[in-house]
Structure 1
Amino acid sequence: MSSIIEICNRALTKLGDNRITSLADNTKPARTMSSLYDSVRRSEIRAHRWSFSMKRALLPALADAPVWGFPRQFQLPTDNVKLDQLGDYYVWWGPVYRGYTYHSDHLYAIEGNRILTDLPAPLRVRYAYDVQDVNQFDANFVEMLACKLAMEACEDLTQSATKFQQMATEYADARNTAVRTNAIERPPEQLVESEWLLVRF
């Protein structure tokens, strides 16, 4: 089992800096980690479809419809970090492709903290949520997060370009391991074919 302090200390050890006992410590390493931890954690959760961060919900339609373009809208979950699935359509986490895609990009739009869509209510969604309990993290994600914290803190704590490059390499290796392990543990998923492809048959 890990803790936030253990993850931060793992990052500080990689940099050869002093360990901390609390993010509230009156030391430069503690202040640096305190300023970085939450934003880096959320960024890394958003960056990939981690199994531990997935959550499902049924969203009711809001009473007020969009002014134009879509018949209904839904409030995004308050703990949403990134959408993964709307109804039967997967939200593509990379470039938006047209035609044969995970989703038809005219089915919805995300504006502010709302989903505008043609899909019916209640809206089935799956999304990456803001996981704050570190005990939910996969062990490889913990190592990757520590590497990213070390990389982000490197300039402030070491001013060493060589050390930064070392941390960037360690982060890339740790991320590859975490992504690969996550992919192995996820079952294969069926893509939803677009109307463009279906009319060819």
Structure 2
Amino acid sequence: MSATPVSICSNALLMLGDNPIASFAEDSDKARLASNLWDTARDHVLRRHPWNCAIKRVILSPDTTAPAFDFKAQFELPADWLRTLSVGEEGERPRYRIEGRKVLMQENVCKLRYIFRNENPATWDSMLVWCMTRVMRMLFAYPITQSTSLEQLIEQEVALLLREARAVDGQEDEPEAFDESPLLAARFVGSSGYSPYRGA
């Protein structure tokens, strides 16, 4: 059976001893929680590593308006862009900057390789599906169980799982640099330690 956002969230709930949901539109606190968290959590996990199932290559045409200075052309980033992996063909190192939703360059063509917002889990690698299941379990842990100790334990498990998954996924290609930011960011907690999902 192909994975879906609902099936991933349902499996995460089952792992916490709760009942699954039928859809994000279901009239329940669990469904509303899943619906509110899913998009942000998915984009965060996708952006953290160049998963093979979430990479695209495009050739962009310049905007009609050039940057005010320093660069000759600017290019609108694709609507599904999450993170730039490279600009230019392999072996090239063109000078560029990303500002807002624009790539600024001296060239008139932008060859962009990037992580895209792959919204279809049916096309994901099985390890990415498993990672997202565990991440959703982590995010559900406190709202469902009211246990901070369980939440912290699951967070540690997810950190190890993500490292393993990225290592396995990366073995299929040449080494890529990826974001080593703490997993704490996956819980969307600011520097103050405040989490919108459980209070201060």
Long gaps (5+) in structure 2: 177-200
| 2:165 pairs with one of 178, 183, 190 | 178
Long gaps (5+) in structure 1: 91-101, 190-201
Query: Per the alignment, in what secondary structure is the counterpart of residue 168 of structure 1?
Result: helix
Length-normalised TM-score, structure 1: 0.81
For 1:170 and 1:18, locate their aligned partners in 2 and report how far apart those are by CA, in whole Å.
22
> 4+ runs of 1 displaced by more than 4 Å?
none
Q: Is the 8 A contact 1:15 1:163 kept in 2?
A: no
Q: Which has the larger radius of gyration?
A: 1
Flag the 1:188–1:144 CA change in 2: closer, same or farther, 3 A.
Answer: closer
Q: CA RMSD in A?
A: 1.9
Length-normalised TM-score, structure 2: 0.81
1:170 Cα offset (Å) = 2.2
1:76 Cα offset (Å) = 0.6
1:103 Cα offset (Å) = 5.7
Query: Per the alignment, in what secondary structure is the counterpart of residue 61 of structure 1?
Result: coil
- String of CA shifts for 1:37-94, please: whole Å, max 9, x gaps: 111001111111111100000001111110112111111111111111100479xxxx
- String of CA shifts for 1:146-199, please: whole Å, max 9, x gaps: 11111122222221012102211221222122101111112468xxxxxxxxxx
1:136 Cα offset (Å) = 1.2
Looking at both structures, which has the greater relative contact order when contacts are Cα pairs under 8 Å and sequence separation is at least 6? 1
For 1:3 and 1:36, locate their aligned partners in 2 and report how far apart those are by CA, in whole Å.
15
Q: Is the 8 A contact 1:140 1:174 kept in 2?
A: no
The count of residues paired between Structure 1 and Structure 2 equals 175
Matched-pair identity in %: 30
For 1:11 and 1:126, locate their aligned partners in 2 and report how far apart those are by CA, in whole Å.
32
For 2:175 and 2:5, locate their aligned partners in 1 and report how far apart those are by CA, in whole Å.
32
Query: Per the alignment, in what secondary structure is the counterpart of residue 57 of structure 2?
Result: strand
